[in-house]
Amino acid sequence: MGFWLFVIISIGSIPLAGAMAHERNRPSGKWLWIAAAIGPLAPLALLVLGDAKGPASVN
């Protein structure tokens, strides 16, 4: 039972990581692959990293 719960959570974290990466202006394709590799740790990593720094605005 525990193994299948882990598998379901890992598969569910893939679209979650993609959506979170898109929200934070990070490359969502790369984060989809990262989530496929490390599972539920990818959304946690995105929470820690926060928003991507955009290009500096010239005023």
pTM assigned to the model: 0.80
Angle at 51 between CA 46 and CA 52, to 5 degrees: 100
| High-pLDDT (> 70) share of the chain, % | 90
Alpha carbons 50 and 54: distance in angstroms, whole number: 12
User: What value does the mean pLDDT take over residues 15-39?
Assistant: 94
pLDDT tens, position by position, 35-54: 999 999 999 999 999 888 86
